[in-house]
Amino acid sequence: MTLTRTQTTFAPPVMEARRWLEGVTFPPDRPLINVSQAAPVDPPPAALRAEIARAAVEDASAHLYGPVLGLPDLREEVAAQWSAAYGGAIDPAQVAITSGCNQAFTAALTTLCSDGDEVILPLPYYFNHAMWLDMSGIRTVGLMTGDGMIPDPEKAEALITDRTRAIVLVTPNNPAGVEYPAGVVGAFYDLCQRRGIALILDETYRDFDSRTGAPHDLFSRPGWDDTLIHLYSFSKAYRLTGHRVGAMIASPARLAEAEKFLDTVAICPNQLGQRAALWGMRNLSQWVAGERDEILDRRAAIEEGFPRLAAKGWQLLGCGAYFAYVQHPFDEPSDALAQRLVTDAGILCLPGTMFMPPDRPEGRRQLRIAFANIDRTGIAALFDRLIALS
């Protein structure tokens, strides 16, 4: 019997890792350190929760179907704030609101690809991107990143065929954390424009970029929406993970195609979540700035403390946003090591094998540490346990 596309796609990595905790107990003096998932574990700030409650009680339309491409006010707010932040010109008609950033990605790919088409993903990749390509009958073409975990446009061009439909970049990167230089992002845009393919730029973690000013100039380029498809998530900045609100910024013609897909899978984005995102954008800029400062401090704690691990043979391959991507010194593959870390060190993290195709050996030496939910004290405890294991 022929296998279905879901049967030939790997299991969701975060859910698989959670199963490693089954039957394991953690003593009070060594509680679990969970650095497996890149999502806030705290709820939205109290003021935003109060606004969600108000909307639930007072706004009857928050419980009804809304426009497939999202609330007009939220689309306008995204267009205005992105235009100011990037120094470009974005119209509300170029903005769609989606049920999370993952859905924005799936919608973009659905407008671009047919069976047997190809999409280039830098390696290591964000696993949900690879899963969707597998389930859609699209071939993932891996582009190994180079020094500093940065992809090379020239190497990417060598991978383009007549079936290539897009190159996907995630910056700040998941899983490696690195922030792609503006020149690199611009070079990829130029490549995609020249070759007539799309550049999908996922900036889910843009609110935690350590740089000041715009991270690239793509929105200021004439006709940018002929090439660029920009993706964003409200989940990280406003702690709205459970409300599922994301955005896709592209040409009106592409959004018209995406609307067909979105109408069949969700009809409209979460209404309360959209109202929460809009209120957050209008009222929580200072709060988000404080969240950014805290994440940057945790990143600094990783970088400052890592020499202790380096002395034991560990390497810090990338660090930024929510992530540290590391190379371990052990002989065992990272998937086995990650499971052993649960029982031997009380640490839950994801192995590099979950971010690489099975035929790539590099993932067997790598681990992703999602540090956004542990403070400096937690980071020091994490390093203590890893050193003791080494």
As a dihedral over the C-alpha atoms of residue 205, residue 193, residue 92, residue 54, rounded to 10 degrees, the angle is -20
Q: Coil, strand, or helix at residue 138?
A: coil
Cα–chain-centroid distance for residue 318? 15
Cα–chain-centroid distance for residue 18? 19
Q: Coil, strand, or helix at residue 247?
A: strand
Residue from 218, 196, 182, 179 nearest 82 by CA: 218
Q: 333 burial class (0-12, 13-18, 19+ CB within 10 angstroms)?
A: middle
- DSSP H helices, the chain, are 13-19, 46-58, 72-86, 101-112, 127-135, 153-157, 182-195, 235-238, 252-265, 271-283, 285-310, 334-345, 376-389
For 351-367, how does the pLDDT look when each residue is reduced to its tens digit (9 = 90+)?
Answer: 999 999 999 999 999 99
For 191-250, how does the pLDDT look when each residue is reduced to its tens digit (9 = 90+)?
Answer: 999 999 999 999 999 999 999 999 999 999 999 999 999 999 999 999 999 999 999 999
How many other C-beta atoms can be found within 10 angstroms of the C-beta atom of residue 331?
A: 7
Residue ranges and CATH numbers for the domains of the chain are: 13-43+287-389 (3.90.1150.10), 46-283 (3.40.640.10)
Q: Which residues have C-beta within 8 Å of that of residue 382, sequence separation ≥ 6?
A: 33, 35, 347, 369, 371, 374
Side chain identity, residue 122: P
Residue from 121, 166, 154, 185 nearest 355 by CA: 121
pLDDT at residue number 40: 81
Q: Which residues of the chain have pLDDT under 50?
A: none
For 314-328, how does the pLDDT look when each residue is reduced to its tens digit (9 = 90+)?
Answer: 999 999 999 999 999
**Contact yes or no for 273/240 (Cβ under 8 A):** yes
Q: Give CA–CA dist 172/164, Å, rounded.
A: 24
Q: Give CA–CA dist 262/276, Å, rounded.
A: 20
How many other C-beta atoms can be found within 10 angstroms of the C-beta atom of residue 117?
A: 19
pLDDT at residue number 9: 87
pLDDT at residue number 10: 86
pLDDT at residue number 116: 93
Residue with tokens 């400052």: 304
Q: 217 burial class (0-12, 13-18, 19+ CB within 10 angstroms)?
A: middle
The DSSP output letter for 244 is: -
Q: Give CA–CA dist 95/43, Å, rounded.
A: 26
**Contact yes or no for 123/360 (Cβ under 8 A):** yes
